[in-house]
C-alpha cells in the first residue's frame, strides 16, 4: 500500500511539473490525480515509523 501511494504521489508531482512546462497554451493530458492530504500525512507517518526519515519529512 505504501509503494502504491508513493507512486501516486510521484505521478501527481510529474503531472504538476508537466503542466508548468506546458504553460504556453497547450492542454495537459486529461488524467488528474487527487490525493487526500490526510492520506499524504499518513504516508509520511508510516515512513517515520519505518525509520525512513528522508521520505517521512
- The whole-angstrom separation of Cα 29 and Cα 17 is 12
State residue 10's pLDDT score: 85
Quick one: angle between helices 2-21 and 37-49, nearest 10? 130
Neighbours of 43 (CB within 10 A): 20
Q: pLDDT per residue over 5-48, tens digit each? A: 888 888 888 888 877 777 755 565 666 667 777 777 777 777 77
> Residue 32: phi, psi to the nearest 5?
-135, 150
In angstroms, rounded to a whole number, what is the distance separating the alpha carbons of residues 53 and 27? 37
Confidence (pLDDT) at 34: 72
Amino acid at each position: 500500500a505504501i509503494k502504491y501511494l508513493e507512486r501516486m504521489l510521484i505521478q501527481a508531482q510529474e503531472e504538476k511539473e508537466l503542466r508548468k512546462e506546458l504553460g504556453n497554451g497547450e492542454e495537459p493530458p486529461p488524467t488528474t490525480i487527487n490525493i487526500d492530504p490526510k492520506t499524504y500525512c499518513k504516508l509520511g507517518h508510516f515512513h517515520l515509523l519505518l525509520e525512513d526519515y528522508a521520505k517521512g519529512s
